Chains A and B, each alone.
Chain A
């Protein structure tokens, strides 16, 4: 079975802190994605990566950066967390065919 893991299920940080959210997949997928989920807005794509060291902006990249140094790991970075970044963050991975994406369990981030 495909497994996508995220470093934390729940995280509480203070405004201005630097935050790292880690995602690891074990299926050798080329594509990896970071979404945030907010009530009534569904899932919105923040960044994605289609290869090591390659990244592309999604719909809402402002305030975020990403890193993909190894194929299995895709990190989301909040350089200076703000309260409007309080959300559920979901990581996904998928094959180049694009016929599915497998999601991790999510990280619920609260910024105080």
Chain B
């Protein structure tokens, strides 16, 4: 069974600094996708970034970068130049094509609460 682990339930970062949120995953299939979502206090899940298992380069999207280390099965999210609006819950998720729904089911980690200090 696939599994997503986020080992940091809460983190602080100073404004304008970078921070790395950890995510490790476990799957036996060579083809999968990794996602990061942001959930502010309003509750909505906001898609941030996607990395396919066969993508050669790390995905980047604005201030977000996914540090994909396939051999270590890690997909850490790097947030650059944090500002107060970055404070939120962050969830890592994985799509496993071998799941029983044509490969579109996501499994989520437990989340990391990031707090930006002014």
Contact = CB atoms under 8 A, between A and B. Distances in A.
Interface string B32-65: 0101010000111111001010000000000000
Interface residues of A, number: 29
Nearest to A88: B43
Contact of B105 (A45, A99, A100, A106): A45
Contact of B104 (A42, A96, A102): A96
A90 B108 CA distance: 13
B101 interface: yes
Contacts, number: 70
A108 B44 CA distance: 11
Interface residues of B, number: 30
A104 B44 CA distance: 6
Interface in B95-118: 95, 97, 100-111
B25 interface: no
A98 B104 contact: yes
A100 B50 contact: yes
Given A42-B91, A42-B110, A100 B103 contact: no
A40 B33 contact: no
B44 A45 contact: no
B36 to A, nearest CB: 11
17 contacts: A33-B105, A42-B109, A43-B45, A43-B93, A45-B105, A45-B106, A50-B101, A58-B105, A88-B43, A98-B33, A99-B50, A99-B52, A100-B47, A101-B106, A102-B47, A103-B47, A106-B44
